[in-house]
Chain A
Amino acid sequence: MKKYLCLFVVMGCLCTAIPGSAADVGVTINLDRREATTADTVRLEVSVSDTRSGVRPHLAGMDAFTVTEGGRSTRVEIVNGAMSEGITYTYFLQPKKTGHFTIGPATVTANGRTVESKTVSLDVADAAASGTPEDLIFFEAEIADADVYVDEQTILTLKLYRRVTVGELSLSFPDMEYLNYAQIRQSREYMATRGGKEYRVLDVAYALTSSRAGTYEITPISMKMIVLQQSRSPFDEFFFSTRSGRPYVATANAVKLTVHALPDKEKPAGFTGLVGQFVMEAQLEPKTVSAGESATLTLVIEGRGNANRIPDMAAPEIDGVRAYADQPVLETMRDEKGAGGRKTMKWALVPETAGRYELPGCELIFFDPNREEYVTVMTPHMVLLALPGADKGTRTQAASGGNASVETLRKKAVRQIGEDILPLHTAASGLVVPLRSLTRGWRLWTAVFGPAIAYLLCLVGVTLRRKSPERLSKVRTRNAPKVLARKTRAPETGPVSLIDAFTEYLNDRFGISLGTVTVNDVELVLTRQGVRAETVAEVRSIVHRLEEAVYAGGEKTQDTLARTLRDVVARIEKDIR
């Protein structure tokens, strides 16, 4: 049950929220005063009731006013269950002239039905005559020079005098063809006294130029603003601390400007429309380079006037010098005296060969309004000196006497003026080809295979020599001590083996063939070979001890005998040497 009750309430609310029908639409207009001066701003409110749709009213009788929209507000009221709603449009009217004016009716068309409001009247009196102080706020325009040439700039100064607080300032110029305005400085504010009253002054300045000759009346120059008014209600002041604002348009006095055409008489051929005062400077850096390297030519044109008409200068054309241009750079400048600019042009100059290159001066033509004549300025001639460097085919001769001037000789390509063959070869040696015979017949094969064959012969000879009895005997003699040492160091070497090893040593070392070594044989052989008697005695002793070890089983260890035998053999070798 509760569900159905809620649904019913919601539906009811939705139904009451549906806008009223067009039959209930009404329009009313209301002015905040009935009398005003040309310096006042009148507030007009147009209320459209029983609608919230964006129906805009059409207002009649507005020709005599400058109309500024002040916004709109939507209104919804429920009184004793009856709901009313509407939109209120606010306009600010500034009278353009004096007189009695009827404002309205306001007309609204909704759902095919048109509803009109009543009219209201407003009496507008002259602000000065009525004693209303227009001097609360006024706007002035003044021009520095009202008699100029085409494209000559003159300074237009606009001053807004005010004794009230304003905001949302917006300046507008009349849309006049051929006139151009350019602000030359930031606006500034200061205090000034007029008629014994102190004003706050807003001062802005513009450079004014005309591109066509003629007489111009520049009007209206107007400045829209919101004049802020302190609320008179202590309640509003306390609770909202707000200020109400009314739009206001201040119009400056008309300014006359006479523009003369530039004189055709004596107009130079190269004139590009540049008007003002300009200077031109050229700089070459460095002035001396090596051939193939670059120097920079910088040209600067600077001045006050229509700097955007400064022409792009052509690259200097010099035989033997290549020129590469940079993108010109234009910098505009604006100050109290007007607008101007500075254009910088640069070229990289690369001399191809060594030499002295004359750079022609650059020419600039402009019309100087102050002198009322065309002016031609030239940069001085400059000299680029290219020394031999990258270009090895050039030569430079410096003049003697310490003079800075340099005379150069530039080489030219050799031009062939005749053709013939080169002469004979007459040396008798020309008949002989050195070593040519190496490549023919048996010499060829000898050269190819001779070394290999010689090597093979050597190899065979050496091999045969190595295997001869004499050679083998020598080898055995040389190796006899080593063989003995190796055999006596073998493990488990018995006395018999030691005697055999010693016998083999003697046979190999001295080229003999003893079957079994005896003390007497050893003594005889060693003595013949020149071994000292002491060594022979030791040999006899060791042989004797070996025999004892073999036959009688002596107590000496075998290692001791083997070591003693090696020592004895070493002494034998020493004695023999």
Chain B
Amino acid sequence: MKRVIPILMAGLVILMMVHGSTPAKNGETAEELFFAANNDYKEVRYDDAVAGYRTLIDRGYESGHLYYNLGNAALKLANLGEAILAYERARLFIPRDDDLAFNLAYARDRTRDAVSNEGGFAPVEMLGLGSVTLFEVFVVFTVVNILLFGILCIRLFTRREWTYYALIIAAILMITTTSAAALTWYANIYDDRAVVLTEEIAVRAGPDADDTVLFRLHEGTIVHTEQQESGWVLIHLSDEKRGWTEAADVARIR
């Protein structure tokens, strides 16, 4: 019994990891599509490259590098909004990538509206959790979770002194990682940021084309969305300017 339980728990983790691997796809493999899109980009067929990357995304592939490449291709096509959207999505997966940081800054420099583009969940940014992904936090949480309950299981059979100290350390780690995971999770779930995709949008007082135009925004600007109805979305900026715009003109990052 002492040997069976750790083996079972390790098997559980391995099983979950194996199930997370890339599934087989129809026709061209994902890798082939990815290389083809990259090749299109190199041969200055940016439209084709964008289409290739989008195909992969439509097929369910999501990764930081895929979004990063899509952002590059969109930027080459002067689609600033789509590029920033792709870069911001890439940040969810590879937040510490230097190339991404450079290209995103490059794209942000070309936006026309002087609004704050950060707008993330404040506690997450303050605790430095903005530089880690939800997956990374969750992996750490899982490891600590297994560690904690593993030690508890060991203590069912032996009460040696080291198990006591190991339990305390594991409990502290558990509290920390659980808090970090909860914050990161919350930041993901309630991230309401969206990117303006069209060259210029009019933000109106109500969800109707006849309503008064309150202000105008331009491609690439990041706004916060509140609610959506009848093809219109209520947005606000960091400085609390609020208004309605057509939902098709903006795209949520998450």
Flag if B34 contacts A428 (CB, 8 Å): yes
B106 contacts A421, C-beta separation under 8 Å: yes
Cα–Cα distance between A444 and B31 once the two chains are bound (Å): 27
CA distance A422 to B98 in the complex (A): 10
| B6-20 CB contacts (< 8 Å) to partner A | 8-9, 12-13, 16-17, 19-20
A431 vs chain B, min Cβ distance (A):
5
Residue numbers in B under 8 Å from A438 (CB-CB): 16-17, 20, 135, 138-139, 142
**Is there contact, CB below 8 Å, between A446 and B12?**
yes
Closest to A435 in B: B139
Query: What is the CB-to-nearest-CB distance from A268 to chain B, in angstroms, rounded to a whole number?
Result: 58
**Nearest-CB distance from A86 to chain B (Å)?**
102
Q: A452 in the interface, Cβ–Cβ < 8 Å?
A: yes
Stretch at the interface among A256-264, A323-331, A456-464, A504-512: A456-464
Contact A447–B16 (Cβ < 8 Å): yes
Q: Considering the complex, which residues of chain A in the window 427-478 have a beta carbon less than 8 Å from any beta carbon of chain B?
A: 427-428, 430-439, 443-444, 446-448, 450-452, 454-455, 458-459, 461-462
Q: Is the CB of B63 within 8 A of A430?
A: yes
* Interface residue from B8, B42, B142 paired with A447 (Cβ < 8 Å): B142
Q: Contact partner of A458 among B5, B76, B138, CB < 8 A?
A: B5
Interface assignment of A426: CB less than 8 Å from any CB of chain B? yes
Q: Which of these, B56, B62, B156, contacts A433 with CB under 8 Å?
A: B62
Residues of chain B lying within 8 A (CB to CB) of residue A428 = 31, 34-35
Q: Is the CB–CB distance between B30 and A431 below 8 Å?
A: yes
Task: Check: A425 CB closer than 8 A to any chain B CB.
Answer: yes
Contact present for A459 and B156 (CB under 8 Å): yes
Beta-carbon contacts of B40-84 to A below 8 Å, as 1s and 0s?
Answer: 011000000000000010000111111011001001100000000
**Bound: A455/B12 CA distance, A:** 14
Q: Give A453 Cβ to nearest chain B Cβ, in Å.
A: 9
Q: Mark B140-168, 1 if CB is under 8 A from A, else 0.
A: 01100110111011001100000000000
Closest to B145 in A: A451
Asked if B187 is at the interface (CB within 8 A of a chain A CB), the reply is: no
CA–CA, A458 to B150, complex, Å? 10
Residue of A nearest to B18 (CB): A437
A420 to B72, CA, bound (A): 10
Residues of B within 8 A of A129 (CB): none
Contact with A along B103-143 (1 / 0, CB 8 A): 10011000000000000000000000000001100110110
From residue A295, how far is it (CB to closest CB) to chain B in Å?
Answer: 41
Question: Is the pair A431, B99 in contact by a Cβ cutoff of 8 Å?
Answer: no
Q: Contact check, B34 vs A450: say whether CB atoms are below 8 A apart.
A: no
B6 shortest CB reach to chain A, Å? 10
A contact residues around B26 at 8 Å (CB): none
Q: Interface SS of chain B: helix, strand, loop or mixed?
A: helix
Query: Is the Cβ of A451 less than 8 Å from the Cβ of B66?
Result: no
Residue tally, chain B, CB below 8 Å to A: 52
A residues less than 8 Å from B24 (CB atoms): none
- Contact A427:B65 (CB < 8 A) given known A438-B135, A448-B145: yes
Q: Which of A446, A451, A461 contacts B16 (CB 8 A)?
A: A446
B230 adjacent to chain A (CB < 8 Å): no
Q: How far is the CA of A461 from the CA of B1 in the complex (A)?
A: 9
Q: With A438-B138, A439-B134, A451-B9 as given contacts, are A425 and B69 in contact (CB-CB < 8 Å)?
A: yes
**A460: shortest Cβ distance to chain B, in Å?**
10
| B227 interfacial by beta-carbon distance below 8 Å | no
From B38, B65, B149, contact of A454 by CB (8 A): B149
Please determine whether A462 and B157 come into contact, CB atoms closer than 8 angstroms.
yes
Kindly state the separation between the CA atoms of A64 and B69 in the bound complex, as whole angstroms. 117
Residues from chain A with Cβ under 8 Å of B64 in the complex: 430, 433
B135 touches A426 (CB 8 A): no
Which A residues are in CB contact (< 8 Å) with B102? 421-422
In the A-B complex, the 3 residue pairs with the smallest Cβ-Cβ separation, listed nearest first, are A437-B20, A430-B65, A451-B149
What are 6 A-B residue pairs whose CB atoms fall within 8 Å in the complex? A421-B106, A421-B107, A424-B41, A437-B21, A438-B135, A455-B152
* Other 11 A-B pairs with CB < 8 A, given A425-B99, A443-B16: A422-B102, A424-B42, A425-B68, A428-B31, A433-B62, A433-B64, A436-B135, A439-B135, A447-B138, A458-B5, A458-B153
